[in-house]
Amino acid sequence: MDTLELTQQLIREPSVTPNDGACQSIIASRLEKSGFTITQYPFGNVKNLWARHGTTAPLFLFCGHTDVVPPGPIDAWKYPPFEPTVIDGQLYGRGAADMKSGVAAMICAAEKFVAKYPHHSGSIAFLITSDEEGDAIDGTQKVLANLPSSDQAIDYCIVGEATSDKKFGDTIKNGRRGSLSGKLTIHGKQGHIAYPHLADNPIHRAFMALHTICEINWDNGDEHFPPTSLQFSNIHSGTGAGNVIPGKLEAHFNLRYSPKQTAEKIRDRIENTLKDYQLNFEIQWTHGAEPFITHPGKLTVALSDAIKKTTGISAELSTTGGTSDGRFIAKTGAQVIEFGVINQSIHQVNENTSVKDLTQLTSIYFETLENLLTQSLSE
């Protein structure tokens, strides 16, 4: 069965987070046939799977997720989201790009690799979760904390997320920015709009302070990261009545930050700015993700060479985009990069991927394994 067939089989499972459907049992039975040892790590209603082939170092890990985001309005889809459909060389369905295609490609590549090199050097492992698109609490992070120490010594990791931008093969993610969110409440005193001296208007108080926060030049980024950016996403104040000064203003914001910042530094700077304006405020902080970076080295070269050989394209290293489970693997000290199909349609209706790219992705993963795990074999 090739990558396309396996991807279609996985798309037929409506595995909206944290449901897995039968995805992981399909994966487990295939890897088991190829000689992998399977361990399940269920937590709550989340399913997780660990599979390993080989016992020695270096340990190469494929990381992925079987869950998908909800399809949204079914009527808006050209083809039903959980009935994979191939039209003009494109495969349509929820998870076609994010990331059942990536999961299928890594499985087919590994099957082919262990069949060709049953005595490859090092080990190949899989960490597959059904909790990536959700809270990501009972998924990758928790599996890593529960693995025996021999499985924790990960040297190389490829996450199969859709990273290609305009052309398949053009982008490898070698890091991700951190994410920090704040829910700010500025308190005033409610009153009649004709008697402002008896009230304290939080809208007026907020203007200058929020403007100053927007104008902060956090950093200029560096060779790997774009500049840190703060964006307000929601702002609300007012009772609805035109003659009432409201009692409070609420503003929500998020920062995507480079390793030049820390969450603590950002929190201090924002809170000190608000204090400078003598505001009565509180902030609820949520630290979504810490940033990570894998510097160019053995893993990036092994993957870039495979991409070049298969597609003729020289991939660029990038750290843009949202967060991913790569951040948890990076904490173990492993080199972590992400590479997969084109991400234009992820999380959208009519999510799709090119069938040709699927085949090429499988070859690229296979050749990356060859580049890393066959060097010490005698030809």
**DSSP code string of 252-283:** EEEEEE-TTS-HHHHHHHHHHHHHHTT-EEEE
Q: Which residue lies nearer to Zn ion by CB, 69 or 313?
A: 69
Q: Which is closer to Zn ion, CB of 109 or CB of 136? A: 136
Structure tokens at 203: 């809208």
By the rule CB under 5 A, 16 interacts with Zn ion: no
Q: Which is nearer to Zn ion, 140 or 371 (CB)?
A: 140
Q: Of 96-104, 121-129, 194-202, 370-378, which part binds Zn ion (CB under 5 A)?
A: 96-104
Q: Please report where in the chains the tokens 């703060």 appear, as a residue.
A: 230
Q: Strand pairing of 248-257 and 229-237? A: antiparallel
CB of 36 to Zn ion, least distance (A): 22
Would you please indicate which residues are annotated as catalytic (active-site) residues?
A: 67, 132
Q: In angstroms, what is the minimal distance from the CB of 16 to Zn ion?
A: 13
Q: Which stretch binds Zn ion (CB under 5 A): 54-62, 84-92, 145-153, 160-168?
A: 160-168
Count of CB atoms within 10 A of residue 243's CB?
8
d(CA 328, CA 34): 27
CA separation for the pair 312, 309 (Å, rounded): 6
Min dist. Cβ of residue 333 to Zn ion (A): 23
Shortest gap between Cβ of 109 and Zn ion (angstroms)?
18
Q: Are 127 and 10 in contact (CB under 8 A)?
A: no
Which residue's Cβ lies closest to Zn ion? 98
Size of the site for Zn ion (CB under 5 A): 3
Q: What are the helix (H) ranges across 235-354?
A: 263-276, 298-311, 326-330
Please, which residue, 98 or 151, has the CB nearer to Zn ion? 98
Assess 99 for contact with Zn ion (CB under 5 A): yes
289 close to 176: Cβ distance less than 8 angstroms: yes
Q: Does 138 bind Zn ion (CB under 5 A)?
A: no
The nearer residue to Zn ion, 98 or 357, going by C-beta atoms, is 98
Q: Beta-carbon neighbour count of residue 128 at 10 Å? A: 29
Which span (50-58, 153-161, 187-195, 233-241) binds Zn ion, by CB under 5 A? 153-161
Q: Please identify, among the stretches 49-57, 95-103, 134-142, 353-361, the one whose residues bind Zn ion according to the rule CB under 5 A.
A: 95-103
Question: What percent of the chain is helix, strand and coil (3-state, nearest 5)?
Answer: 30, 25, 40
Q: Which of 48, 237 has the CB closer to Zn ion?
A: 48
| Helix 23-33 and helix 100-116, axial crossing angle in degrees, nearest 10 | 10
Q: Per-residue x/- mask for Zn ion, residues 202 to 241, rule CB under 5 A?
A: ----------------------------------------
We find the least distance from the C-beta atom of residue 95 to Zn ion, in angstroms, to be: 9
Report in angstroms how near the CB of residue 174 gets to Zn ion at its nearest. Answer: 17
**Contact status: 98 vs Zn ion (CB under 5 A):** yes
Sheet arrangement for strand 90-92 = 85-87, 90-92, 352-354
Chain residues in the site for Zn ion (CB under 5 A): 98-99, 161
